[in-house]
Amino acid sequence: MNTTIEKQENNIVKVDIEVPAKEAVTYYNNAAKKLAQYVNIPGFRKGKAPRNIVEQNIGEERIKYEALENALPKIFSDVIRENNFDVVAQPYVESYDFKVGEDLKITAKIELRPEVTLGEYKGMTVEVEGYKTPEDAMEKSLNGMLEQHATTVVVTDRKTVNTDIIVFDFDGYSNGEKIEHGDAKNFTLDLGHSSFIPGFAEQLVDRPIGEEFDIEVKFPEEYHEKKLAGQPATFKCKINEIKTKVLPELNDEFAQKVGPFKTVDDLKADIQKYLDTQKADYDRMNSEKAIFEKVASEAKVDIQQTMIDREADELVEEYKQKLAAQGFSWEQAVEAQGYDTIMNQLKEDAAVRVKNSLVIDKIAKLENITVSQADFSAKLTELSQMYQIDPQTMVKQLSQTPGVFNALSQQALNEKVTKFLADNNTVKLK
């Protein structure tokens, strides 16, 4: 096999390939035999008709197409290996000249990985703003635990207050029309932690049991249902029941109830340990991020648009999955935000992701950082624990999704390179 290489713009190489006639005929004959097995030819058993009869029934062009389908993976593999090409996409055929009995001529294009020129990536000192634990973090943690163990009691001798839990009926209307799914009977709502439309819960305060009343609200401009976005609405309401939360007393007995503690001081010490660990984790993550951003910002790389477009396509699919998980559709997002706005942001994100990936791969190559079987197994174990699925079942499920194992390997490599950079640079926390 003879090849001629021509470098072109955007990290593309044009490859002219000549496959010897003898080898090309072998590909052709094998394709004819394979296709003959699926064609009924009068007078012959399947797969037993001679080549000329198969050609008469199927046609040379169909056989040539099948021959190329079978031959190209090996041909491209040989070209890539012999020229030590670092490819980032499947090679594609621009043209071919296939005459049986003559050399097979193929013109293909192969997209190569862009060359990355790194700046400094070791021995740097990077300043990072240290994480500051909020002054009320301890108080909020304790209050949260008390809230979790709160009990509720029904009250009948007063109006609602903003810390109550109420059971009520409501029926919503907007512009004279009933709001779809905008009504309920005996709905329970925590007035202090409401996710209703802004201003809704506030108007349920200072209301007695049994009162029927209207509240006026306005849907947010960015509301997911376009018909209601920015529109006024009226909700007819009635309070059926008022409950108040009773928090337990913060004492040694409570501490013993919520964990392996003897006293409140033991409980507070455990919370402080968690807060300290949280600060250390934030500082570590922020430090790793700052180091990598500095390394990436000083790296020089000319990325072809095709790589960014492919990454953007993947981000679109990820975005659609996130929307679906939140109960929204791609069409709703496009209608609310605009197609160009969404795609411009995704393409910006794609460009950053592609560059970061190239920088990581370059450092890994220079420092001989690789992903071992143990690294990959650790990622699978981490994933199985996250979703509470045993590793064997996890592998079976992941194997149904193309490319997922490569993604996991890349994630493991990212983490190893990130750790390498953290170990080989100094961070000063401000």
Q: What is the DSSP string of 138-169?
A: HHHHHHHHHHHT-EEEEE-SS---TT-EEEEE
The answer to whether position 161 is within a domain reads yes
406 and 278 belong to one structural domain: yes
186: left (phi over 0), alpha (psi -120 to 50) or beta: left
CATH value at residue 101: 3.30.70.1050
The answer to whether position 136 is within a domain reads no
pLDDT 10s digits, 172-181: 999 989 999 8
> Residue 122's closest CA among 264, 253, 295?
295
Q: Percent of the chain beyond pLDDT 70?
A: 97
State the pLDDT at residue 47. Answer: 59
The answer to whether position 252 is within a domain reads no
288 and 241 belong to one structural domain: no
> Residue 413's closest CA among 343, 359, 367, 360?
360
92 and 190 belong to one structural domain: no
Give dist(CA 217, CA 200) in Å, integer: 6
425 and 288 belong to one structural domain: yes
* Structural domain ending residue among the three candidates 200, 216, 246: 246
Tokens of 79: 């070209």
183 and 89 belong to one structural domain: no
Mean pLDDT in residue range 124-133: 95
* Structural domain ending residue among the three candidates 211, 246, 281: 246
Q: Map residue 65 onto helix, strand or coil.
A: helix
182 and 65 belong to one structural domain: no
List for the chain the helix, strand, coil content (%; round to 5).
50, 20, 30
Tokens of 176: 């004279």
400 and 276 belong to one structural domain: yes
pLDDT 10s digits, 17-44: 999 999 999 998 888 888 777 766 666 6
User: How many Cβ atoms are within 10 Å of 128's Cβ, its own excluded?
Assistant: 16
Q: Are 104 and 97 in contact (CB under 8 A)?
A: yes
> Residue 380's closest CA among 400, 402, 395, 399?
395
The answer to whether position 137 is within a domain reads no
Domain range for 372:
264-429
| Alpha-carbon distances, residue 39 vs 53, 59, 67 (angstroms) | 11, 12, 16
CATH value at residue 273: 1.10.3120.10
235 and 164 belong to one structural domain: yes
* Structural domain ending residue among the three candidates 187, 211, 246: 246
> Residue 101's closest CA among 21, 159, 219?
21
User: How many Cβ atoms are within 10 Å of 163's Cβ, its own excluded?
Assistant: 12
CATH value at residue 205: 3.10.50.40
Q: Percent of the chain beyond pLDDT 90?
A: 73
| Alpha-carbon distances, residue 368 vs 114, 277, 362 (angstroms) | 19, 32, 10
The answer to whether position 124 is within a domain reads no
Mean pLDDT value across the chain: 91
Q: Are 349 and 318 in contact (CB under 8 A)?
A: no
Whether residue 270 has pLDDT greater than 80: yes
**pLDDT band at residue 48 using 50, 70 and 90 as cut-offs:** low
| Alpha-carbon distances, residue 305 vs 131, 192, 293, 343, 426 (angstroms) | 38, 50, 22, 14, 35
The answer to whether position 127 is within a domain reads no
State the pLDDT at residue 80. Answer: 94
Whether residue 381 has pLDDT greater than 80: yes
User: What are the phi and psi torsion angles at 326 (to 5°)?
Assistant: -95, 5
Mean pLDDT in residue range 91-99: 93
pLDDT 10s digits, 156-190: 999 999 999 999 999 999 998 999 989 999 999 99
pLDDT 10s digits, 338-358: 999 999 999 999 999 999 999
Tokens of 242: 């008022």
State the pLDDT at residue 59. Answer: 78
Q: Are 146 and 217 in contact (CB under 8 A)?
A: no
159 and 291 belong to one structural domain: no
The answer to whether position 133 is within a domain reads no
Tokens of 81: 């290996």
State the pLDDT at residue 296. Answer: 96
For the ranges 56-65, 80-89, 93-102, the lowest mean pLDDT is seen at 56-65
Domains in the chain, number: 3
238 and 293 belong to one structural domain: no
pTM, 2 dp: 0.73
| Alpha-carbon distances, residue 202 vs 136, 148, 238, 252 (angstroms) | 26, 23, 15, 36
240 and 268 belong to one structural domain: no
| Alpha-carbon distances, residue 14 vs 17, 69, 89, 92 (angstroms) | 10, 20, 14, 10
Tokens of 381: 């174990």
Which helix or strand (DSSP H or E) is residue 48 part of?
Answer: none
Q: What is the DSSP letter of 124?
A: -
The answer to whether position 146 is within a domain reads no
Give dist(CA 107, CA 418) in Å, integer: 41
State the pLDDT at residue 185. Answer: 96
Whether residue 390 has pLDDT greater than 80: yes
268 and 377 belong to one structural domain: yes
Q: What is the DSSP letter of 202?
A: G
Give dist(CA 102, CA 32) in Å, integer: 17
Chain-centroid distance of CA 387 in Å reads 16
How many CA within 13 A on the CB side of residue 162? 7
Mean pLDDT in residue range 222-237: 90
